[in-house]
Structure 1
Amino acid sequence: MATEGARIDRLSLLLDQFDHASEMARVRLAGLGDEEYLWEPVPGCWSIRQRGAATTPRAFGPGEWVLDLGAPDIPASEYAEVARQAAGGMSVGKIAEDWSVSVARVEEVLAHTGPAEPDETPVTTIAWRLGHLHFCFAGGWEWTFGELRQEPKLLVDFTPSATVALERFWAVIDRWRDSVATVTDEQLDTIGFSQYPYGSDPDEPFAAVLAGANLELIHHMAEIALLRDLWRARGASASLTS
C-alpha cells in the first residue's frame, strides 16, 4: 500500500477510518429489501413500528413510525465507562443525568466488583440498528454544526421502506462527513464543541466525540452485516432441521 504523501494528522486519521467503514457499509447494504430490513429473527425484537403498535415504553419518532426504546438503564457493557466518568471528576448526579437513571443506580454500578453479568438486551432488527445510527448522526450534526436546538428524537422520520431509509441515512452521513472535514485542530481539542444532549459530548474534546462516532458506525454496521448473513442463510438452516 502506498504511503507517500499520506496525511497522518488526527483529523485525517479519523476521517480515513470513517470513510473506510462507510465504504464497506455501502457495499454490505446493497440490495437490502423491505422484508429483510424489518425481519425479526427471534421473538421480542426491537424494531421500528407504527405508533399504535409500539410496545416499548419510550418508542419515539415524529411520524407514523417509531423506533423502539426501553426503560433507561446502564448496561453492563458500559460499567467501565461509568467508572471512567467518575474517575474523571464527573459527579454521581451528573452521571445519573447523563444516563437518565437514578443516583442509586449509578452508585450501584460504581460499587460493583468482579465480572459483570452479561446484558439481557433485546435483539434488534436491521431497521432498528439503521434507525438508531440515523438518529445519532442526525442529532450529532444538529447539535454540533446546526442550530443546536432541535430535539434529536424528532429529527428522523422513520420509514418501513429500506430504500427510503438508506437514501435518507446516507444523506445524513455525507453531511456529517463534509462538516467534520472542516474542523480545525483547535476545535478538535475543544471540550463541548459538540453539545449533543444524549451522552457525554458536552464534557469531551471533539476528537473524542469523533472517535466515538466512528466506533458507533463500525459496530452497528458489523451487526447489520451479520444479520444480512443470517437472513441469507435462514432457508438453509430450516432445511437442515426438517
Structure 2
Amino acid sequence: MTTTLENLLKLSDFAWQRLRARVQGLTDEEYFWEPFDGCWSIRKTGAGFVQDSSDIPPEPSPFTTLAWRISHIVDILQEDRTATWFGHEADPADGQPPVPGSAAEALTALDHSYDVWRRRLAALSQEDLDRRMGQIAGPWANDDGTAFALHILDELIHHGAEVGTVRDFYRGTHPEDPFDEALAGELTPAAHPTLVADAAAAQRWDVIPRLAELGFGLDEMTTNGFTAAHLAAGNGALETVRFLVEHGADLAIADPRFNADVLGWAYWFKRADVIAYLEAQGTKAR
C-alpha cells in the first residue's frame, strides 16, 4: 500500500520535473523581461538583489516577472519553515534562499532549493505528517503536517505553471525560428545537438531531412527525453518515421518518462500505419 509520504514525494517530483523542463534555456533577457509598466521584479541594490514587495500587496496583484516568480519559488522551497513547521531543525548547510541576479544563478538556486525541500520532505515520518504544527505556524497552528506539505506543493505547482505561461508569452512576442537559423548556417550541431528532436516536438516535419543533411543527430532527445522517432511515431508522421529509419535512427531507445521505445509509442497512440511499417522492417515490441 502506498503511504501518504510516498504520494507526496511522487507529486512533488512530478511537479518539479515539469517546472525544470520549462525553464531550460532561460536567458537573462527573458528572466528580467517586463512586458509593461508596473511589474514586480527583482531590483539591484548596493547589497545585491531584492524582490519588489509590499506588506499589504496591491489589488489587483501586479504582474510578476520570471525573476520574481523563480525567486519566490526558491524562497518557498528553501526557507527554514519547510523544516521547522514539521518539528525538525533546518540544516545550516542548506543555507538561506538567495535572490538570484541572473538566469544562470536562478537555475542553480532553483535546483538547490528543490534538493533542500525534497530531502526535508523525504525525512518526515507519518507522525510528522499527522501532528498539528502548533504555535510556530501562527494562524495555521491547528493544521497538520500533511496540510502544510500540500500547501508547499500547491505553491510549487501554481507558480511553476505561471513560469511556463510567462515563457509562452515571451516566446509569442519574441518570435524566433531556430530551424531556419540552422538551415542558414547560423546554428551548428555542436552548439544545438537536439535540433532534430526539437523540430519533431514542434511538428516541423519538413525541416528534419534538411537538418539531418547538415549533420544534426537523429537520436538526440528533447528536454523531456523524447527522440524525433518517438514523436514522429506518436504523431503518426509516417514519412518522417520512414526517413528516420532509412537514415539509421535508433528505434530501441526508451524514453525516460514512459520507458517506451518507438514502436511502443506507435502502439500507445494507435498509429496503425506506423505500426505496420515498423513491424515490416522487423522492429519488435519490447
Do both share a fold (TM > 0.5)?
Answer: yes
The equivalent residue for 2:63 is 123
The equivalent residue for 1:146 is 89
% same residue: 32
What CA deviation, in whole Å up to 9, does each residue of 1:131-165 have, x standing for no partner?
A: 1111122223353443499xxxx933312211112
| 1:122 Cα deviation from its structure 2 partner | 0.3
In the alignment, does 2:17 pair up with 1:23? yes
The equivalent residue for 1:12 is 6
| 1:20 Cα deviation from its structure 2 partner | 0.4
What secondary structure, in the 3-state scheme, does the structure 2 residue paired with 1:49 have? strand
Bigger relative contact order, structure 1 or 2 (CA pairs below 8 A, ≥6 apart): 1
| 1:70 Cα deviation from its structure 2 partner | 1.6
In the alignment, does 2:126 pair up with 1:132? no
In the alignment, does 2:155 pair up with 1:161? no
Return the letter of the residue paired with 1:169.
L
TM-score of the superposed pair, with normalisation by structure 1 = 0.63
The equivalent residue for 1:44 is 38
Q: Can you give the 5+ residue segments of structure 1 that lack an aligned partner in the other structure?
A: 1-6, 53-62, 76-118, 237-242
In the alignment, does 2:50 pair up with 1:66? yes
| 1:191 Cα deviation from its structure 2 partner | 1.0
Which structure is larger by alpha-carbon Rg, 1 or 2? 2
The equivalent residue for 1:207 is 146
Return the letter of the residue paired with 2:62.
P
Question: Does the CA contact (< 8 Å) of 1:148 and 1:195 recur in 2?
Answer: no
TM-score of the superposed pair, with normalisation by structure 2 = 0.54
The equivalent residue for 1:106 is none
Question: Does the CA contact (< 8 Å) of 1:48 and 1:66 recur in 2?
Answer: yes
Q: Can you give the 5+ residue segments of structure 2 that lack an aligned partner in the other structure?
A: 176-286
The equivalent residue for 1:170 is 111
What CA deviation, in whole Å up to 9, does each residue of 1:159-202 have, x standing for no partner?
A: 221111211221121121122112111110111179467xx454
Question: Does the CA contact (< 8 Å) of 1:45 and 1:123 recur in 2?
Answer: yes
